[in-house]
Amino acid sequence: MDKLRSQCLSCCACPLSATRTNVVFGVGPVPSEIVFVGEGPGQNEDLQGEPFVGAAGQLLDGMLSIIDLSRENCYITNIVKCRPPQNRDPLPEEQDACIGYLEAQLAILKPKIVVCLGRVAAKRLIRSDFRITAEHGVWTKKDDVYYTAFYHPSALLRDPSKRPDAFTDLLILRDKAHALGIL
């Protein structure tokens, strides 16, 4: 993973590399049984080089703690490792340029569960026509790995009415983890 990280830190495969402060590679133990994947770094993440350290990240940390998860016992990363300007969604070609790093991370991490945080990650990792409102908390098994999607923490900050559903999704994750002998 250290070798992959150092390759990623010097990546110039797409135009996002020109405007980044830091590459945001990912954080957590290697291997990890549970991996969370967001869409891409925001301003705070770009400045600090760590995923989910802004307001959305604080909410994520609080959510994870409800089910005894933290940065010490799961891995957190993003679809793209460099900040898209103005926090826009990463473009398909930026995702294409970066997805090899995530694929390599997952090959090393060997998770049993991958949780997509938000629509962008779910469309990329689960199904291109994934509908986050209808399908959050639903499991899809691919190559022996269970995938699901949560509402993005930023969406929960914007729209607190989604929080009860987000809580249910956390319990769904805890149940699946227990069923797989994790946690």
Contacts of 105 (CB under 8 A, 6+ apart): 1, 4, 26, 35, 75, 77
> How wide is the angle at C-alpha 16 spanned by C-alphas 15 and 18, nearest 5°?
70
Which is closer to ligand URA, CB of 70 or CB of 178? 70
Which is closer to ligand URA, CB of 48 or CB of 73? 48
Query: To 10 degrees, the CA torsion angle through 173, 124, 107, 15?
Result: -130
Is 24:49 a contact under the CB 8 Å cutoff? yes
Residue nearest to ligand URA (CB): 38
Is-cis flag, bond preceding 85, omega within 30?
no
Q: Is 94 in the site for ligand URA (CB under 6 A)?
A: no
Which is closer to ligand URA, CB of 65 or CB of 87? 87
Q: Is 78 in the site for ligand URA (CB under 6 A)?
A: yes
Which is closer to ligand URA, CB of 82 or CB of 97? 82
Nearest-approach distance from CB 131 to ligand URA, in angstroms: 18
Which strands, in side-by-side order, build the sheet including 140-142? 75-78, 34-38, 113-117, 145-150, 140-142
Q: Which residues between 35 and 74 bind ligand URA (CB under 6 A)?
A: 38-42, 45, 51-52, 56-57
Nearest-approach distance from CB 42 to ligand URA, in angstroms: 4
Helix (H, G, I), strand (E, B) or coil at 36: strand
Query: Phi/psi of residue 38, each to 5°?
Result: -90, -170
d(CA 65, CA 59): 10
Q: By CB under 6 A, which span of 33-41, 108-116, 139-147, 172-180 interacts with ligand URA?
A: 33-41
Q: Which residues between 122 and 181 bind ligand URA (CB under 6 A)?
A: none
d(CA 59, CA 62): 5
Which is closer to ligand URA, CB of 49 or CB of 179? 49
Q: How many residues bind ligand URA (CB under 6 A)?
A: 12
Which is closer to ligand URA, CB of 39 or CB of 94? 39
Q: Which residues bind ligand URA (CB under 6 A)?
A: 38-42, 45, 51-52, 56-57, 78, 117
